[in-house]
Structure 1
Amino acid sequence: MSPQTRERILAIASEMGYVASSAASGLATGRTRTVGVLAPYVSRWFFSRAIEGVDIALQENQYNLMLINLGGYGGNRERLFEHTMLRKQIDALVVLCLGLQPSELEHLHLTEIPLVAVGGPVKGFHQVCIDDYQAAQLATKHLIELGHRRIAQVLGDDKDEVDFAVPKLRDRAFEETLLAAGLRFEPGWELNGDFTVAGGVRAAAQLFDAPGEKPTAVFCASDEMALGVIMEAQRRGIRVPQELSVVGIDNHEFAEAAGLTTVAQNPVEQGRLAADMLIKELDGAVGTVRSVAAPFELLVRSSTAPPSR
């Protein structure tokens, strides 16, 4: 076909509003131009923001997004992995941090498509995430350096959950940082907040209702839980930070308005970077997908202060 004929065809197609069929293109190339996002939940802040970042990169490169929400499948996860993952519906996959059973990990490896984890490590794959141990250590050290000696912790999830590394790393960092500073770790001051505001409220209520000595500070493994702790403290007339300092991790969109001290990360950029790497890999740049340590920083606001004497 001559260049002149090609230009005439393209001009006519443009006038008629013709759009190439993605299905036909997929049949010709074996590609769907679709990237999947495997998420444990879509309602929680980190996951929704990471999905937004993935979608930004996909739209910029004319790719589609297929959202695979494990939270919506209940006990039917096995069927999801067997039938959705292995049916060639997607060209690549972003896995948002979650705990996977060994059989589910095996299914992911069997897909033989480019894959990258975001927000936490997934065994055997590259990842884009912060160093969760160092982030929790930074938050805990901030409280210790302010002079706090009685520090409680609100965990995100059960630290014994199979293959869910993030809560375990943040919990271990908290405990080891306390012990390194010569402080006591109180098992009764370790509570599960489920990575939600409501969970933070419940954890704070348990902490405040427990008999005996009270902590002067609380480290929360996410901002959502930290916001819940602050709400429950305010409801009970406990002044933050005069009577209780609170620190979180994330830099949630409400953190600045609430004056929450936090270790900030950017899940939108993490999701965008992961998707960019996958697209380049699909376009032939072999070896583009790699592990990347995402940046984080301590933002000191008004929810932390030295303990009152």
Structure 2
Amino acid sequence: MAVRAARGGHHGVSIEDVAKKAGVSTATVSRAVRGLPRVSEKTRQRILDVASELGYVASSAASGLATGKTRTIGVLTPYVDRWFFYKALEGVERELHRQGYNLSLFSLDSRTLERQRTFTKTMVAKHIDALLVLCLALSMEEIEELRRLDIPLVAVGGPVEDCPSIGIDDVAAAALATRHLLELGHRDIGIVHGEDDDTDLNFQVPILRLDGFRGELERHGSGFHPEWEVRGNFTLASGADAFDELWNRPGPKPTAVVCASDEMAMGVVLQARRRGVRVPEELSVIGIDDHEFSQVMGLTTVAQDPVAQAQLGTQMLLDELAGKAGSVHDVRAEFELRVRNTTSAVS
């Protein structure tokens, strides 16, 4: 983060003054003062010489950054109470605790004013060494704001424009779930996809999983039914509502349903049983995630590990801060099919 608020020394010399005389950006001055990589030794020395000549002294907070005393990693997330997000936070905290770092959590509200406040008054004003972004769509203005921080940055759980990311191949994961049902003989397959009500938090994951579902049906020559594509928002309640929407419609019913998350899948299973529909005899259900309750419920799913993904992302950030240039990079995380009791061959 550019130490824009740092002032001190003689006559209130600021970081902007140093940057102007050294002929570099304030972000480069910030990196030089903090001892971070991606600044040549020649440039770093010139900046330090100019700072000394002008009598510039960074603020105590900036000095803490320079010496590594802040030791704080920021996490930017839209939610803290949904499965992927709290499991990912567990992974971040686990790695930070192991290496003696602190966690600073920024919850990005969907409302425009609140989002702006997070970027302009909260996150940018905080002194963090690096930032991890969880499953979040960002506007171009927000991406530019993050660039101004000039700190190591990684996304976990899905792609963010111009940002290295760690996550599963969501298209392939949804295709695998769909293929499992096709191999069991199902041809009348619906989907509860994850388009969230908060459209600006929607990110790319719901769209990618829907694409994977449709693509796999097409590869097998099995047409999809638009009336069997129902929206949810990655919660148990939305899964139950989605089942009702499917079953309340007139006409034929699907014999199987792909759900874009385990929580929605569990909602479908519970509501189906409430209404007397037998799972899997009359309706096979598969999810994506491997929520901790999925094994108890016997839910067939495509499993991923957000704890490991976030822990790896955190380790990358810490390695980058330690001077290991290129530590932060794209990673395709592992996923696998786990067959349990909610899917069976078509009757």
Tell me the distance in 2 between the aligned counterparts of 1:28 and 1:284: 13
Q: 1:102 to 1:204 in 2, by over 3 A?
A: same
Give RMSD over aligned pairs.
Answer: 2.0
CA contact (8 A) 1:99 1:161 kept: no
Of the structure 1 ranges 103-112 and 273-282, higher mean CA displacement relative to structure 2 is found in 103-112
1:50 — aligned with what?
88
2:77 pairs with 15, 39, 50, which one?
A: 39
Aligned to 1:180: 219
Aligned match for 1:233, one of 258, 268, 272: 272
Partners in 2 of 1:285 and 1:36 — Cα distance? 19
Deviation at 1:102, TM superposition (A): 2.0
Q: Letter of the aligned partner of 1:251 in structure 2?
A: D
- Measured after TM superposition, the shift of residue 27 of structure 1 is 6.2
Cα drift, residue 71 of structure 1: 4.0
Structure 1 position 217, deviation (Å): 0.3
Task: Report the counterpart of residue 154 of structure 2 in structure 1.
Answer: 116
Offset at 1:25?
A: 6.8
* 1:47-196 correspondence to structure 2 within 5 Å: 47-71=85-109, 75-158=113-196, 161=199, 164-196=203-235
Q: How does 1:10-21 map to 2 (within 5 A)?
A: none
Residue-by-residue CA offset, 1:97-143 (whole Å, 9 max, x unaligned):
12222222221222111010000000101011001111000000000
Pair 1:40–1:28, CA change in 2 (3 A): closer
**For 1:75 and 1:202, how far apart are their aligned partners in 2?**
31
CA deviation string 1:152-173 (max 9, x = no partner) = 0001115994671101110011
Runs of 4+ residues over 6 Å off in structure 1: 22-25
Decide whether aligned partners of structure 1 residues 186 and 83 sit closer, same or farther in structure 2, where only a CA change above 3 A counts: same
CA distance in 1 between partners of 2:269 and 2:283 (Å)? 9
Q: What is the DSSP-based 3-state SS (H/G/I as helix, E as strand, rest coil) of the residue aligned with 1:298?
A: strand
Q: Which residue in 1 is equivalent to 2:4?
A: none
TM-score under structure 2 length normalisation: 0.79
Q: CA deviation at 1:83?
A: 2.3
C-alpha separation in 2, matches of 1:298 and 1:228? 20
* Higher Cα radius of gyration: 2
Identity of aligned residues (%): 55
Question: Residues 234 and 240 of structure 1 are in contact (CA less than 8 Å); yes or no, is this contact kept in structure 2?
Answer: yes
Match of 2:338 in 1: 299
* 1:160 to 1:183, Cα distance in 2 relative to 1, 3 A: farther
Aligned residues: 287
Structure 2: runs of 5 or more not aligned: 1-59
Pair 1:212 & 2:261 matched: no
Q: Which moved more, 1:87-96 or 1:299-308?
A: 87-96
Q: Identify the structure with bigger relative contact order (alpha carbons < 8 Å, sequence gap 6+).
A: 1
Q: How does 1:234-273 map to 2 (within 5 A)?
A: 234-273=273-312
**2:109, 2:115 within 8 Å by CA — same for their partners in 1?**
no
Change (3 A) 1:131 1:207: same
Counterparts of 1:78 and 1:191, CA distance in 2: 32
Deviation at 1:301, TM superposition (A): 0.5
Q: Where does the alignment leave 5 or more consecutive residues of structure 1 unmatched?
A: 1-21
